[in-house]
Every structure is written in structure tokens, then in C-alpha cells.
Amino acid sequence: MRRTTIIFLILAGIAVISGGCGYYFPHVYEGPAKTIYMPNWKNRTSQLGLDSKIYQSLSRWFQKSTSIRLTKDKSEADLILAGEIIDIDLPSVSWDRNARATEVKVKLQVRYVLKDIKSDEILWEVPRELWTEDYGTGRFSLNIAENEQEALLQILKDMSERIYLGTLDRLREKTTPAPAKQ
């Protein structure tokens, strides 16, 4: 046998053996199909359009799973994912000894809940969560507002990923049978 054939067979064998080891991709949900009603979040801040940005960011994450569908019609849904933007602090500035801004911190405070509509069971509730993102102003940075928006978009991306993965975890827990008592 040629050396490449032997290497291929070894790799194929490893792939077959490891296929049953229980590993899963955390970004993919392959359980029973679920429809999630996701209204725009309540926006208690003066930052216009922030609720839409959150909705769009979350939607991008939930589109990764073919077993989950988002809807704006509550009557079609199995679950509801609702949230509220409590506060935003744009920006919080750090100064150096020469009274120059050196770092700006964006802070976003939210709360959200995932609820089973049919059973009225709360699957996941986060009553208050603070997200922060630092960004340097740089010596020659003239556009702090642009940096501020980049920091806010990074927060929304990170927060949406966490909510998406947390939702998948709750769905997996709900569909995994409990171990039998002995």
C-alpha cells in the first residue's frame, strides 16, 4: 500500500470512531423544530434605533440554525424571547495626566427572558446584565462618535451570540431526557 492510502485510512478510522463520541457544535441546534416569537426590545434609553439593531443582530445568529425559526406572529410561536434595554452610557471617558481622553468605555445594560408559551414556563431569565466595551481614543482620533458606535456594535454582536448560545442550551436541556432514577 502506498503511504498516502495508509494515512487516509487512519484518518478515516479516526473520523468514524470520534463521530460517536458525543461532541456537538454549540452554534448548531438540531433538536425538534422551534418557532420563537421575538418582538423588538423595549428601549428605555434615548438611543434611537438601538432596539432594531439588537433585533437584527439576534436575527443573524438565529438564522444559523435550520431548526429554529423567528416570527413576529406570537400565535405561531413555541417560545418568546423578549428583552429590554435598561440603560446606555455613551461614553465613559478615562483621562491621562495631560487632560487628554485616552480611553472610552461604552456600557449597555439589558434584561431578557426566554419563555415557553404553551406551558408558561420561564426557561431562562436574566434580570440585569451589563455589557461594556473599551476603545482607545488614540492621539490623532478626531471621531470619538465613530469609535463609540463600533464599540456598541461589538457589544451587540457579543451579547447576541451569548443569547443565541444560551437559548440553544435551554432548548437542548428541555429536549434531553432526564436520567432514570435508580
Q: Is the pTM of this model over 0.85?
A: no
Distance of CA 23 to the CA centre of its chain: 21
Side-chain-facing half-sphere of 162: CA atoms under 13 Å: 16
Which of 60, 62, 64 is CA-nearest to residue 81? Answer: 62
pLDDT at 134: 84
Cβ contact 109:152 at 8 Å: no
Within a domain: residue 21? Answer: no
CA distance 34 to 28: 13
Which of 72, 73, 74, 84 is CA-nearest to residue 43? Answer: 84
Within a domain: residue 14? Answer: no
Q: Which residues pair with 83 in a beta bridge?
A: 112
pLDDT at 145: 73
Burial of 115 (0-12, 13-18, 19+ CB in 10 A): middle
Within a domain: residue 16? Answer: no
Within a domain: residue 17? Answer: no
Domain interval for residue 49: 32-174
Cβ contact 100:68 at 8 Å: no
Number of domains in the chain: 1
> Which segments within the chain are labelled E, that is strand?
34-37, 42-43, 68-71, 79-95, 101-116, 122-136
CA distance 161 to 153: 12
pLDDT at 48: 92
Within a domain: residue 181? Answer: no
Within a domain: residue 4? Answer: no
Q: What is the pLDDT of residues 111-134, one digit of tens each?
A: 999 999 999 999 999 999 999 998
pLDDT at 105: 84
Residue type for position 142: L
Q: Quote the Cα angle for 22-24-27, to 5°.
A: 165
Within 10 Å of residue 58's Cβ, how many Cβ atoms?
24
Within a domain: residue 104? Answer: yes
Within a domain: residue 5? Answer: no
Q: Which regions of the chain are under pLDDT 50?
A: 23-24, 140, 142
Indicate which CATH number applies to the domain containing 106.
3.40.50.10610
